[in-house]
Chains A and B, each alone.
Chain A
Amino acid sequence: MPRFFKAAFLVAIVYLPIYFLSALVRPLESFFPWYEPLTNIFTAVFLIFLVAGTLFSGTVFQYLFAVARTLVLMLFFIYALNGGIITLAVPVQETTVNIFIDLRVILAMLVLVCLLGIAKNVVQAVDFVAGKAETKEI
């Protein structure tokens, strides 16, 4: 039962910044029409893995779900930032202003963070399995 509360608490904690970010982006929705549906899908998948990881805490699946969660986050960044190159066409009066932003450096940093997170969870999983094996031997 406490795991359910912990999962619910974590969902609330994670969902709040996403909700506020969406509210912040909503006025600009006409420029990023893909943002909200995309965010909703990735948020749902992320939260499912978060809940699953919390419910399976104390087992090796906790780390596997954490890896899956981080992978989802990494894919979200790659997809949302369009591979690092963002182009926008903003209609201003009778003309169209084209905006181009190269965020590949930022994306590389985000992917690096995700990869570090995955590495950390993999190492934790290996440590966990090794610890279990040692306990069994003793």
Chain B
Amino acid sequence: MRYAVRALGWATKILWILIIVFAGTSVYSAINVRMSFGEPQLFLSNELVVISIPLFINNTGFYDLSELNMTVDVMDYNGSLVLTSTTFVPLIPRGSSVETAHNVSMSLDDITSKAPNYLFNDTIIGVDMAVKLNFAHAVPLGVSMNKTIPWGAPLYNFSIGQISYGYYNLTHQRVIIPLSFENHSPYFGIDGTMEVEMYNSGYELLGSRTLSLNVPSHSRYEGEVELIVDVSKLTESGELHFYFETSTVSLGPVVMPYG
């Protein structure tokens, strides 16, 4: 009986010591894990736009980190998933660092179909981010957050005003098209060109002109486009086609009827 008591006593003491040492070293190790993100980079490949965010993890603790899983979901205003991306790192051994990249990819078709909505309408974008990992192969833990980001449209309320016509010569007429929009985007200004094409009701090109645009964030643009068009082809109604070209976005045609 005495031996059993002694054995149980020793087992209890040893387990206590192990737990206390593990708890202490775990806290120390968790404090010494560094995780940082680098500057995002943009790549284009095989009809995909890839935003690559460098991820650097330095594990100077006493224990391995395993099964690191990072997921980012982006949802639009009605909660439907716009894009999802996952990065998985199977193992980050103790005393080592890992450099990887979290890649967010979108197909060009998706961007083309969804871009007009985001360029012309303010909305709210939801971002869900979750990081899960296994600490010391024994303690799974995770951090998650969701955030709503107000999206300001860079071409908010893009509209044409009352088109005015003036005399140019016997065969041609001067057409003045007032244009306005507000750059609601807090992230970037519009610095590029806008090409305007005017078509009559028979889809004949009447004239075109390219303007340079420089509209900083949170500012309003009001301008006019002057076209010289053939009087014989001019009709009461038709379409205006707009093409936008900036260092980051090429968009067009944006079609607006007139008349």
User: Which residues of A come within 8 Å of B, CB atoms?
Assistant: 92, 94-103, 105-106, 109-110, 112-113, 116-117, 119-120, 123-124, 126-127, 130
Whether the pair B139, A103 counts as a contact (CB closer than 8 A) is: yes
**A contacts with B: majority SS:** helix
Q: When the two chains form the complex, which single residue of B5, B23, B139 contacts A120, counting CB atoms closer than 8 Å?
A: B5
**B contacts with A: majority SS:** helix
Whether the pair A109, B139 counts as a contact (CB closer than 8 A) is: no
> In the complex, A8 Cα to B63 Cα: how many Å?
40
Complex contacts, A124 vs chain B, CB 8 Å: 5
Minimum CB distance partner of A115 in chain B: B12
Complex contacts, A112 vs chain B, CB 8 Å: 15
Whether, in the assembled complex, B170 has its beta carbon less than 8 Å from a beta carbon of chain A, the answer is no
> In the complex, A97 Cα to B4 Cα: how many Å?
49
> In chain B, residues 157-214, which have Cβ atoms closer than 8 Å to a Cβ of chain A?
none
> In the complex, A126 Cα to B5 Cα: how many Å?
11
Whether the pair A123, B23 counts as a contact (CB closer than 8 A) is: no
Smallest beta-carbon distance A18→chain B, Å:
14
Q: When the two chains form the complex, which single residue of B15, B18, B139, B141 contacts A116, counting CB atoms closer than 8 Å?
A: B15
Complex contacts, A95 vs chain B, CB 8 Å: 145-147
Whether the pair A109, B15 counts as a contact (CB closer than 8 A) is: yes
> In the complex, A75 Cα to B220 Cα: how many Å?
65
